[in-house]
Structure 1
Amino acid sequence: MTAVVETQDKPVAATGAPLLSVRDVRTYYGNIIALKGVDVDVHPGEIVTLIGANGAGKSTLMMTIFGSPQARTGSIVFDGMDITRMPPHEIARLRIAQSPEGRRIFSRMTVLENLQMGASLDNMKHFDEDVEKVFTLFPRLKERSAQRGGTLSGGEQQMLAIARALMARPRLLMLDEPSLGLAPLIVKQIFDAIKELNRTEGLTVFLVEQNAFHALKLAHRGYVMVNGVVTMSGAGKELLANPEVRAAYLEGGHH
């Protein structure tokens, strides 16, 4: 069965097995169940977004995929390999890269040193080439390359967090709330960069985002999460047009 996902340039055929497959995943914090049997698929070359209100469980799913916390039940399969019980450092070696919520850059290190940390998984083999690529994508980082991470603006720190993740040459880039707390112009720059990487390099992206409008415009497909349960899924454009989604996540926001 072939699902076709629309992009602005040409449709991407999501054929064959998903790159990432989450099945019936339940995650707990102590006795509190945060994810209640979640199913999500991400096919190679897709941008897939997960939207929902604050506290819906979106970041928990992202962290569970990355092995901390681990799923209590269910399975997470990446490229045919079961990673449900793997520790985060082994998951990172499979070239799954994460730009976590709150950015978490190394504030005392320079921009360049942060990028070196990202490249260390790849033993710095392609460092010069990849640094040029992320500096082209985010020219502001080039200007700030000798500055400490902690002295950057919020938007620059977010660009650095994404650039650091890209230095690992990921097969799957996971972005947790990249637009949080940023000015609209910076948000546009970041989303444009993600779109460009997907278009030119076929980068597969899984995006958790409260800004439903931007996320659904960017994504080929989307999932809606409410209280630890996926309640809806479909093409990004379909969900943007869906009256329930509009009422819950878009009213009073962008149109």
Structure 2
Amino acid sequence: MSSQAQDALLSVRGVETYYGKIIALRGVDMDVHRGEIVTLIGANGAGKSTLMMTICGTPQARRGSIHYDGQDITTMPTHEIMRRGIAQSPEGRRIFPRMTVLENLQMGAQLVDPRHFRDDLDKVYALFPRLRERAAQRGGTLSGGEQQMLAIGRALMSRPKLLLLDEPSLGLAPLIVKQIFGAVLELNRTEGLTVFLVEQNAFHALKLAHRGYVMVNGRITMSGTGAELLKRDEVRAAYLEGGVH
């Protein structure tokens, strides 16, 4: 491993992932360092969510390696990877719709010392006050924005070192997107939480991120700081023209 990869909390090298005989990721290299917000942008179907799922072990990479916190997790089962301090807020939220908000948050805390539960719950409620108001309400009756807050809150209850966010702005009103991204930034600034963000909303994602990568057809085609990528003509033409500025 290179020294840069050794310094990273998450290091992806030469990863190829397949669905049957169809290749979805083509030799992906990527690093996420401690305390960073790193974003991966790209068009729908570019392979962004596949990379995040591959990091979590389903599907597993057929070639290449994934190292997290100094350990090779490439062939580990998903539950073992999650026990090591990775939490995911998946695309589509995937909360437990029949459970209350509080019960969903309790599910997120399954793998950590129960002595932390009350403090961690208060932190999530401080970050998303709406969840405190809705604590006894079933998850399936929440608005889309509230469900996204709950999905992130549930992930935070596991006390992750690395938070994976898959399309957190999808289908949400601009004001709610601003709240969600504001909460992510606050977590990073105040707690030093490391975040890997997969997003179609390139403008908001690159403004938020320390560094970013661009994926096209399963390959990383560009990388740089968020500010650098925002200025690139190719990025502006492909992902920002006509978008929210």
Q: TM-score, normalised by structure 2?
A: 0.97
C-alpha distance after superposition, 1:137-167 (max 9, x if no partner): 0000000000000000000000000000000
Alignment partner of 1:135 out of 95, 105, 125: 125
Aligned pair 1:114/2:104, yes or no?
yes
Alignment partner of 2:34 out of 37, 40, 44: 44
Alignment partner of 1:249 out of 230, 239, 242: 239
How is 1:65-84 mapped onto 2 (pairs within 5 angstroms)?
A: 65-84=55-74
Q: CA 1:16–1:86 in structure 2 vs 1: closer, same or farther (change >3 Å)?
A: closer
Alignment size in residue pairs: 242
The alpha-carbon deviation at position 251 of structure 1 amounts to 0.1
- What is the CA RMSD across the aligned residues, in angstroms? 1.1
C-alpha distance after superposition, 1:68-119 (max 9, x if no partner): 0000000000011000000010001001000000000000100000000000
* In 1, Cα distance between equivalents of 2:106 and 2:183: 20
Q: Which residue of structure 1 aligns with residue 153 of structure 2?
A: 163
Aligned pair 1:226/2:216, yes or no?
yes
The alpha-carbon deviation at position 125 of structure 1 amounts to 2.6
Alignment partner of 1:176 out of 166, 173, 181: 166
The alpha-carbon deviation at position 123 of structure 1 amounts to 3.8
* In 2, Cα distance between equivalents of 1:207 and 1:76: 17
Supply the AA of the counterpart residue of 2:155. A
For the 8 Å contact 1:116–1:124, the answer to whether it is kept is no
* In 1, Cα distance between equivalents of 2:131 and 2:6: 38
Alignment partner of 1:152 out of 142, 166, 171: 142
Supply the AA of the counterpart residue of 2:135. S
Q: CA 1:24–1:202 in structure 2 vs 1: closer, same or farther (change >3 Å)?
A: same
The alpha-carbon deviation at position 15 of structure 1 amounts to 10
C-alpha distance after superposition, 1:173-219 (max 9, x if no partner): 00000000000000000000000000001000000000000000000
* In 1, Cα distance between equivalents of 2:189 and 2:5: 17
For the 8 Å contact 1:37–1:229, the answer to whether it is kept is yes
How is 1:2-81 mapped onto 2 (pairs within 5 angstroms)?
A: 17-81=7-71
* In 2, Cα distance between equivalents of 1:209 and 1:40: 16
5+ long unaligned stretches in structure 1:
1-13
Q: Which residue of structure 1 aligns with residue 206 of structure 2?
A: 216
* In 2, Cα distance between equivalents of 1:136 and 1:224: 33
* In 1, Cα distance between equivalents of 2:190 and 2:94: 28
* In 2, Cα distance between equivalents of 1:145 and 1:15: 41
* In 2, Cα distance between equivalents of 1:173 and 1:182: 20
5+ long unaligned stretches in structure 2:
none
Q: Which residue of structure 2 aligns with residue 8 of structure 1?
A: none
Q: Which residue of structure 2 aligns with residue 3 of structure 1?
A: none
Q: CA 1:92–1:15 in structure 2 vs 1: closer, same or farther (change >3 Å)?
A: closer
For the 8 Å contact 1:138–1:159, the answer to whether it is kept is yes
Supply the AA of the counterpart residue of 1:60. T
* In 1, Cα distance between equivalents of 2:106 and 2:139: 13
Alignment partner of 2:84 out of 73, 85, 94: 94
Supply the AA of the counterpart residue of 1:24. G
C-alpha distance after superposition, 1:43-71 (max 9, x if no partner): 00000000000000000000000000000
The alpha-carbon deviation at position 254 of structure 1 amounts to 1.9
For the 8 Å contact 2:6–2:70, the answer to whether it is kept is no
Alignment partner of 2:192 out of 195, 202, 205: 202
Q: Residue 182 of structure 1 aligns to a residue in which SS?
A: coil
